[in-house]
Structure 1
Amino acid sequence: MARRAGAVAAGALATVAIVAMALAVLAVAFCGQGPQAPAGTEAGTGLLKLLGIEPSAESIDYVLTKTQFQLHTLLTEQRHPKTWPLGERVREDTLAGLRMLSAVDEDVRAKVDELAAAPGELERAARAVEAAILGGRKIYVYGCGATGRLAKQMESAFWRPFWRRVKADGRAWRKVEGRVGAGIEESLVGEMTGADRALISSLEGFEDLLLIGKLQLEDRGVRQGDVVICVTEGGETSSVIGTALAALEQWKADPGYDPARSRESLYFVYNNPDDRLLPFERSRRVIDEPGITKINLTTGPQAITGSTRMQATTIETFVVASVVETAVERVLAKALGPGEMERLGFGGRARRTDAAADVAARLRRFGEALDGVKAALPELAALTEIEAAAYAAGRFSTYYAERGLITVFIDSTERSPTFRLFPLDTVREPARKCWIQVWTKAGTAEEAWRAFLGRPFRGLAAERYRGPFETEVGDPYLRRAALESLKKAGDEQAELYDFSLAEANTAGRGPKKGDLVVLVAVTPEEGELGRAGSSFARVLELAGDGGADAAVVLVTDRAGKAVPALVERVRSGWKSRYGRLVVVPVAVAAEGDAFGIRQQMAAKMLLNAHSTAVMAKLGKVVGNTMTNVSPSNLKLIGRATFLIQSHVNDALGTAAWVKAHGRREPVTYGEANAVLYDAIAYLRDKPAEAGQTAEVAFSIIRILESLRQKRGVPREEALALVKSPGLSPYLSSLR
């Protein structure tokens, strides 16, 4: 009895000690009050009191228990030295800003050349994909966010269109059908966290769960022996790691498990140095795992801090697609002659040997895409200025594409979380709210999804996922978010979005005076632009009739004098009383690239630079930091917190601030996080008034203005300052 009483007493003392420790941590995290405050400084304990903020339970939970999602030490989260003054440079000189952005893509070229010199792991992956094709097994490419869209692109822009082309070549198809099977189009599955609905916008709570990666792997029927390629921009995405570990468990269930065999089929592709990732337990589980092949594609910081949709996803898309294309070429070269291979797009170099297809040779041609983009920047600058001016005047844009649809769609949708914009409008919106809409050649919404995906829309069946979410997700915040997002992830979501040329779109949401229409054409679509009755011609005519400005981005394999002639032909067909026309030719050779990877990469890099520069011109970029990021998952909450803390402390440390207001103890991470969560709650409750207001900008201005005035500035007053003059001019006024 005495022993038991002693144990209870010890337990009680331990509990008291834990509580005391937690309170001490809270005091430091949220108050910034250490044992001794620096002499001559204003104590930091008063910030939250000044603002009238009590840290929410969710903020306290994040600071104390979500340290594994506070990722500001990662290389991809650092500021790139080449783009440090990006926001200001773009506003002063659009072309100079675009060149600054494009200069960071040289990091991709350098890394790709390095990989080409030592392609061992990539060759292993190519052999695995080749064996899967010949063995009737699946190739499962999985990602989240930008890399999830990469996975969709693998399936819907590269794999399916290519095999449809092979089947259309009856002579070639008869020779290869017996080797690859009639259902070869279904063999590569590109999946993303949240399935097809997540293409539109993020589904909160999903990304942060290892569990959903496992569930989707099972849902798509992936089995031991299938090739699984998991792609994560930073190397720390929970859902992607969950996929890799679930695939590994299938192998480990075999009594004769051998890691040497599983790593022939399992691949983890990422973009941060291992030593930066090892402190994060979930990343360490994969990096230290001998049964998974790691493909590290680190290029360095992104052009916009943390914006891994740019260089990280560029290199991952190019490398993974090159691996798959190499494997396909090797399979076909065993059955087809040089003429047939050339007809399918592999070029005259193809021969009947395995050596005909070489991963390294493909990698070395990345520079052709980048050089084409760099040469097009002067023309692109004019488009960037027109689009930024349209949004500044309260107008809208319409993007149209066919072969380039997925690349265009990805850039369009990724603007929303990156720059805190409204996501794509649903058909239920009575009037346009999102700045951008995307159209393609289709008569109905269902046809548009098929044109986009190459198959019917594929969502998540709630009955399959709800039970595991309810019983296996221990964190109450993540469980609640995941269950809420599950309501928006089913097949029925397809009906909410219409990208077709149906009359409801062209008449009800068509271009008007002051709007912008952008057509993106990719080889061999050059001829469609001038062909009467083509969809390209129809959309260009709609722009002219409506008085909108128009632009044509031509990603073409034509060279020399053929390019100016093509541009002139496009110009000659433009008829408008009011609108201007900009033509942006991007010359990239298509020879030897059956999937069209290089041209799609050129379109991606061009559009990424363009959309980033547009937002910078609108004041949505401060320096090269993502101050308008939408804090929609744990990683982005961490990034948003760090941005608030960094920008506030940078301002407090300037000579101008110290002279005017004296020295002050730096704002702590916990304080910044408490203010962020308060901003999230406030803006969530005022959607009409807040509009596209960024929580980060709102929090920075509210903190600094309160400290400047030595009073708690009301939220409404801070919101007014965010709207005018905006964060960048506000920070400039303090210097």
Structure 2
Amino acid sequence: MSKPTILTMLLSLCLVSISLPTFAASRLGVEASPQSRDFVENRQQFQLHSLLTEQRHPRTRDLSEAIGADTAAGLAALLSVDEDVARTLDEVAGDPARMAQLRKASQAVQAALRDGHRIYFYGTGSTGRLAETLESGLWRPFWTRAAQSPAWPRIARGLPDIGERVRGEITGGDRALISSLEGFEDLPLIGELQLQDNGIGPQDVVFAVTEGGETSAVIGTALAAAAQSAGGDRVWFVYNNPDDLLLPFDRSRRVLQDPRIQKLALPTGPQAIAGSTRMQATTTSLYVLGVVLEDAIGRLLGEHLSPADMQALGFSASATLESRLRDFAPIQRQAAAAVQRLATWTDHEARAYAGGRHATYLARQALMPVFVDVTERAPTFRLAPLDRTDAPQRRSWIQVWTPTEDPADAWQALLQRPFRGLEPQRYRDAFERSIDDPYLRATALRSLEQAGSDQQGLYDLAVSPRNLALNGPQAGDLGVLVLCGEDELSPLQVAWLEAYAAAGAELVVFSVGNGPLPSPVLGTLSALPRPVPLVAVTVPWRDPLGLNRTIALKMLLNAHSSGVMAKLGRVVGNTMTAVQPGNLKLVGRATYLVQSHVNAVLAGAAWRERHGPTEPLSYAEANAVLFEAIGQRGELGGTAQAAEVELSVVAILEGLARQYPLSWPDAAAILDRQGLNGYLREYRD
């Protein structure tokens, strides 16, 4: 018997014995199920469509149409939304009260590190990858470079073991970097358990980071840290929605009104793709926390090193927290200026996937931002996650490699430390003892089986003989070499380029560096059989942690991958209609997407001219249909890739237009022929 999915668990979870009025669904031919009634009436805490991060940004509202007609124009619209981040950071830099908070955060980090304590960054999903980027993409590489400097003996004496004092953790442990583990995000308990598992104590500093400001696991971390804190400024809650929109939610209110917890509110507005907080929300938090970390390191090292030593390590004597926040704007402009070159790459990758081919990214210095962007595509656009080594067939469209032949060395290159999973027994006992809901308990226990340190061996990120044999280049594939300030290519990078060129695959080189590519790199590229498109962005390395380049890479990768998916129909307008409602929060998001897309059509002149005025769809009606779609989707044969949101929108509109109950096979057939973008096009005014 197959194991139940999170969707079937949700259906069972919401079954309750309640007495409610019959939902008005007769015009749709769907009667609200008990689980739908329960969600609408009793799960308001997961109906988050009021949040600012869930709204549609006006600059990208018609993205799917715009990018289909002009790739560069669509990408320009996506990148323009990062101007909101620049504006927010400039406002923070000019606000004495908010700057006082950032200085307080830097001072807390300094005090903890000076006294031999630790800094703990924790998040779920995108913010979990942010947390691991701070440790593995910024902090550890800096100390590796510092260890090669003449100043290192003084650093080691004054700040012993400093490189091991920052920990970035994602809900579910390092395995969750690949894909989220079902049942964990909605458990405050796991945030508390991971805090304990990492040995975070009362004197350590904790940054609990959540884009929405309502993630249960992150809130569990903040509250557990506050309960054990020694006082002062040890616990920080970092989020991207205004307080007034979060206070109606019980779990958010518990944190926001807790005087033991310091708050860093960083709202920037709607995302370029509505609800896709991997974009501007995470960019904002990553940059601000990176600047705080940089400031704290600089002040600590300044107690032990000369100005010349500091300059050699990349620190500027004139840099302040305010000036570093304002540095974001020129980085954003440099990234946006690459839009024409970026469009060539976006077209190449979209064409490869449309033709049933695959993409492989090869990165060394840029490995962490590349890995993060690639793995975040799966939940955002309903793609298969990275393939395991024991997979019977290839399902993922994309893979990420780094130039080493040893899979264990590849993980070390990504994490800059050993792989860490969740020790099963510690968590199993707590789950069985403390999770009251039987379905949430079963889901969490099942996910725990996939969270241990043994998971490292199931994913190969190396240019290994196995990967080359099974997943090597084929004609029509795409190879993307990503460079970050590299002056020369390793023999494995050169061999990889030559193998892709010889196989008839397309190639693209994406580079972020101080200036033009060095002559040795250009020489290697010019020796290939065909010219290779080059996307080169200049971001001078004036910062010790490499934060500027990391942010430029992130913004460009986010725009590119979102653009590819929009060209392939995985985005409608600027909404994630391919979202899979795999937890209660996503059921709420999917319901709102169904309602908003249907009502946009019903309010339009094209619909009214054909069918006359039609009463708008209610949230309850949208949810009733969505739950029906969840139950129907597995029965629709050839429409295995059709998303529940898309099926629901088409079925509702067709039912209302034809004046008979909605038909799932009809809706699926329409999606097979036209896709949701094509179907909605006939109703656009």
Residue 159 of structure 2 is aligned with which of 180, 187, 195? Answer: 180
CA contact (8 A) 1:441 1:451 kept: no
Residue 487 of structure 2 is aligned with which of 494, 509, 526? Answer: 526
SS in 2 for 1:717: helix
Distance in 2 between residues matched to 1:222 and 1:689, nearest whole Å: 50
Distance in 2 between residues matched to 1:364 and 1:657, nearest whole Å: 47
For 2:514, the equivalent position in structure 1 comes to 557
SS in 1 for 2:337: helix
CA contact (8 A) 1:368 1:589 kept: no
SS in 2 for 1:724: helix
Offset of residue 165 of structure 1: 1.6
Unaligned runs of 5+ in 2: 1-15
Distance in 1 between residues matched to 2:339 and 2:574, nearest whole Å: 19
Distance in 1 between residues matched to 2:608 and 2:365, nearest whole Å: 56
- Residue deviations 1:237-279, cap 9 Å, x none? 111111000001113xx7xxxxxx33x1111111011111111
CA contact (8 A) 1:420 1:693 kept: no
Offset of residue 389 of structure 1: 1.0
For 2:139, the equivalent position in structure 1 comes to 159
RMSD: 2.2
For 1:376, the equivalent position in structure 2 comes to 338
Residue 574 of structure 1 is aligned with which of 502, 510, 528? Answer: 528
Residue 651 of structure 2 is aligned with which of 702, 705, 715? Answer: 702
Identity of aligned residues (%): 49
Worse-matched range after superposition: 468-477 or 119-128: 468-477
- In the alignment of these two chains, the number of paired residues is 667
- The one-letter amino acid of 1:674's match is A
* Runs of 4+ deviating beyond 6 Å: 564-567
Residue 429 of structure 1 is aligned with which of 375, 385, 391? Answer: 391
CA contact (8 A) 1:526 1:554 kept: no
Offset of residue 543 of structure 1: 1.3
1:94 is aligned to 2:42: no
Distance in 1 between residues matched to 2:212 and 2:619, nearest whole Å: 22
CA contact (8 A) 1:202 1:632 kept: no
Distance in 2 between residues matched to 1:656 and 1:357, nearest whole Å: 56
For 1:3, the equivalent position in structure 2 comes to none
Distance in 1 between residues matched to 2:37 and 2:408, nearest whole Å: 45
Offset of residue 197 of structure 1: 1.2
- The one-letter amino acid of 2:678's match is P
Q: TM-score, normalised by structure 2?
A: 0.93
Offset of residue 731 of structure 1: 1.1
Distance in 1 between residues matched to 2:205 and 2:255, nearest whole Å: 16
Residue 495 of structure 2 is aligned with which of 517, 538, 542? Answer: 538
Distance in 2 between residues matched to 1:685 and 1:438, nearest whole Å: 34
1:314 is aligned to 2:290: no
For 1:450, the equivalent position in structure 2 comes to 412
1:228 is aligned to 2:209: no
Worse-matched range after superposition: 706-715 or 665-674: 706-715
- The one-letter amino acid of 1:534's match is P
Residue 589 of structure 1 is aligned with which of 532, 540, 555? Answer: 540
Going from structure 1 to structure 2, the CA distance change for 1:393 and 1:296 (only over 3 Å counts) comes to same
For 1:676, the equivalent position in structure 2 comes to 626
1:345 is aligned to 2:314: yes
For 1:305, the equivalent position in structure 2 comes to 274
SS in 2 for 1:508: helix
CA contact (8 A) 1:519 1:551 kept: yes
1:45 is aligned to 2:26: yes
Going from structure 1 to structure 2, the CA distance change for 1:618 and 1:312 (only over 3 Å counts) comes to same
Offset of residue 85 of structure 1: 1.2
Worse-matched range after superposition: 240-249 or 502-511: 502-511
SS in 2 for 1:521: strand
CA contact (8 A) 2:487 2:517 kept: no
For 2:178, the equivalent position in structure 1 comes to 200
- Residue deviations 1:75-99, cap 9 Å, x none? 1111111111111111111111111
For 1:241, the equivalent position in structure 2 comes to 219
Unaligned runs of 5+ in 1: 1-19, 32-43, 255-260, 351-355
SS in 2 for 1:527: coil
- The one-letter amino acid of 2:107's match is R
CA contact (8 A) 2:386 2:399 kept: yes
1:79 is aligned to 2:56: yes
Distance in 1 between residues matched to 2:17 and 2:421, nearest whole Å: 45
Offset of residue 357 of structure 1: 5.6
CA contact (8 A) 1:195 1:458 kept: yes
Residue 210 of structure 1 is aligned with which of 188, 197, 217? Answer: 188
Correspondences of 1:478-557 after superposition (within 5 Å): 478-523=440-485, 525-528=486-489, 534-557=491-514
For 2:325, the equivalent position in structure 1 comes to 363
Residue 326 of structure 1 is aligned with which of 286, 295, 301? Answer: 295
CA contact (8 A) 1:368 1:588 kept: no
Offset of residue 396 of structure 1: 0.9
- Residue deviations 1:540-573, cap 9 Å, x none? 1121011111111110112xxx469788546413
Residue 717 of structure 1 is aligned with which of 666, 674, 678? Answer: 666
SS in 2 for 1:168: coil
- The one-letter amino acid of 2:505's match is A
For 1:147, the equivalent position in structure 2 comes to 127
Correspondences of 1:97-112 after superposition (within 5 Å): 97-112=74-89
Offset of residue 458 of structure 1: 1.0
For 2:562, the equivalent position in structure 1 comes to 612
Distance in 1 between residues matched to 2:135 and 2:632, nearest whole Å: 41
1:413 is aligned to 2:375: yes
SS in 1 for 2:670: helix
Going from structure 1 to structure 2, the CA distance change for 1:54 and 1:70 (only over 3 Å counts) comes to closer
- Residue deviations 1:30-53, cap 9 Å, x none? 32xxxxxxxxxxxx5332xx25x6
Offset of residue 729 of structure 1: 0.4
Offset of residue 663 of structure 1: 3.4
Offset of residue 673 of structure 1: 1.9
Distance in 2 between residues matched to 1:600 and 1:180, nearest whole Å: 26
Offset of residue 723 of structure 1: 2.6
CA contact (8 A) 1:526 1:556 kept: no
CA contact (8 A) 2:488 2:520 kept: no
- The one-letter amino acid of 1:681's match is G
For 1:10, the equivalent position in structure 2 comes to none
For 2:680, the equivalent position in structure 1 comes to 731
Worse-matched range after superposition: 565-574 or 201-210: 565-574
